[in-house]
Amino acid sequence: MTKGLVTAGPAIETIPVTKPDLLLLDIDEVVLHFIDPFSTLLEEFGARLTPSSFRLTGNVHSIATGAAVSGNELDRVTQRLYEEQEERQMPVEGVGPALTALSELADIVFLTAMTPSHYESRRRLLDKAGLRFPMIATQRSKGGVAAELMEKRTGRLVFVDDLPPNLVAVSRSVPEARLVHLMATTLFRDCLPPLPPGARQAKNWPEATDVIRSLLAA
């Protein structure tokens, strides 16, 4: 473990290696909806998300006054969403059947930057949805974790995330990683930043399943 950075979940060396290939999945906006329930929570606080750029800060405004909501306030809403995730964060459409099918081809691990103290409630939420794959919640860079997960493996790494900087971090640490961008919400579709070279894009799980299958076969 990297000093000072908190991680929750199974130690990497205890995660079973049953197949050569690894499918490593971000959770928020990939496996569970985040932005749509975040928007719902904001509206309950009298604010609205209307993205004109690929970030939350500066794109959330008070419905009553039009004033921008600060980053600190948005962090508090994020923590509230994580606290209430079992009621608010639903699985992304089609993720269950997709992962059941893809688990025949590769081991699956979830890697989330969610505040690690919410690990237990997220674990319950995933288990209830039948998504019983190992989960690591960490403040570390996803690149370092991906590299450690691949140390004992001889096959391919396919990594899926909605945030391009995470795709870049993993490709720096594991240069041969195959990258997929998937973001469940349509709200940010018009302001996506450029993806790293070679990254593939999918708009939903049926598309992502085809892309991941082709990357695992190539």
For Mg ion, the binding residues (CB under 5 A) are 26, 28-29, 162
Query: Is the Cβ–Cβ distance between 134 and 18 less than 8 Å?
Result: no
Tokens linked to 15: 């995660």
Please report how close the Cβ of residue 131 comes to Mg ion at its closest, in angstroms. Answer: 15
How far is the C-alpha of 179 from the C-alpha of 195, rounded, in Å? 9
Tokens linked to 72: 């600190």
> Hunting for tokens 């290696």 — which residue is that?
17
Please report how close the Cβ of residue 182 comes to Mg ion at its closest, in angstroms. Answer: 9
Q: Which is nearer to Mg ion, 26 or 36 (CB)?
A: 26
Please report how close the Cβ of residue 163 comes to Mg ion at its closest, in angstroms. Answer: 6
Please report how close the Cβ of residue 66 comes to Mg ion at its closest, in angstroms. Answer: 28
Give the residue at shortest CB distance from Mg ion.
28
Q: Which is nearer to Mg ion, 155 or 195 (CB)?
A: 195
Q: Which is nearer to Mg ion, 10 or 165 (CB)?
A: 165
DSSP for residue 93:
T
Q: Which is nearer to Mg ion, 62 or 121 (CB)?
A: 121
Q: Which is nearer to Mg ion, 26 or 107 (CB)?
A: 26
Long-range contacts of 197-204, Cβ-Cβ distance < 8 Å, separation of 24 or more? 198/171, 199/164, 199/167, 204/92, 204/93, 204/94
Please report how close the Cβ of residue 63 comes to Mg ion at its closest, in angstroms. Answer: 26
Query: Is the Cβ–Cβ distance between 133 and 103 less than 8 Å?
Result: yes
Cross-strand pairs, 8 = 137
